[in-house]
Amino acid sequence: EAQVTQNPRYLITVTGKKLTVTCSQNMNHEYMSWYRQDPGLGLRQIYYSMNVEVTDKGDVPEGYKVSRKEKRNFPLILESPSPNQTSLYFCASSLDRTEAFFGQGTRLTVV
Amino acid sequence: QKEVEQNSGPLSVPEGAIASLNCTYSDRGSQSFFWYRQYSGKSPELIMSIYSNGDKEDGRFTAQLNKASQYVSLLIRDSQPSDSATYLCADWMDSSYKLIFGSGTRLLVRP
């Protein structure tokens, strides 16, 4: 089954404790991206990647890191999480400029 | 001006009516547009994609694209209570190679 898999689905952590949210897709898509969704603000792009070793900043990259060492994986790293990063996070993948497929989401709470 | 704009709603329609959702975009070079449906706390789900001017129909859904006026719309015929959700418009930005989402329109279908 074609899918985008994120883990974990829910995460509560403390300020400053590094964490990684994983994202994996099995559709051989070149394009992958991370979004955060907050009430009233819609989906905002954090980082995106056009292919292996090619990443670029989205609209809200501060406080986040990404890497794309393999085509299927695109982890999101929070080196020192802060409460303002409490949000619902989505990973998505697509072929070049076609419809994007989303993971199930990760609800992150930073206390 | 936001890159992709939608009225936040809520748009309330009676069951069986036609719901009309609209979206405007700023990048004249954009070629690919998508409508997603999102239930609260869930990931966005693709409804329609449209790439050329005119109408595209799929079951109860019709997407309309007008590149000259830079707007894209979604019509939902015979609206059902299960259509109650937030509808997101998305646009592949030609200028920046990013998939950008509007903030979404909340649709309520009254039984």
Contact B88 A43 (CB under 8 A): yes
What is the Rg, in whole angstroms, of the alpha carbon atoms belonging to chain A?
A: 13
Give per-10-residue mean pLDDT for chain B (111 aa).
82 97 89 93 94 94 94 96 96 77 94 94
pLDDT in tens, A51-83: 999 999 999 999 999 999 999 999 999 999 999
pLDDT confidence band for A42 (50 / 70 / 90): confident
* Nearest alpha-carbon partner for B65 in B96, B97, B94, B33: B33
| Those residues with Cβ within 8 angstroms of residue B26's Cβ, 6 or more apart along the chain or in another chain | B1, B2, B3, B4, B70
pLDDT confidence band for A105 (50 / 70 / 90): very high
Q: Given CB atoms, is B32 within the 8 Å cutoff of chain A?
A: yes
If you ran DSSP here, which 8-state letter would residue A95 be given?
S
Contact B100 A105 (CB under 8 A): no
Q: Given CB atoms, is B56 within the 8 Å cutoff of chain A?
A: no
Residues of A in contact with B8 (CB under 8 A): 40
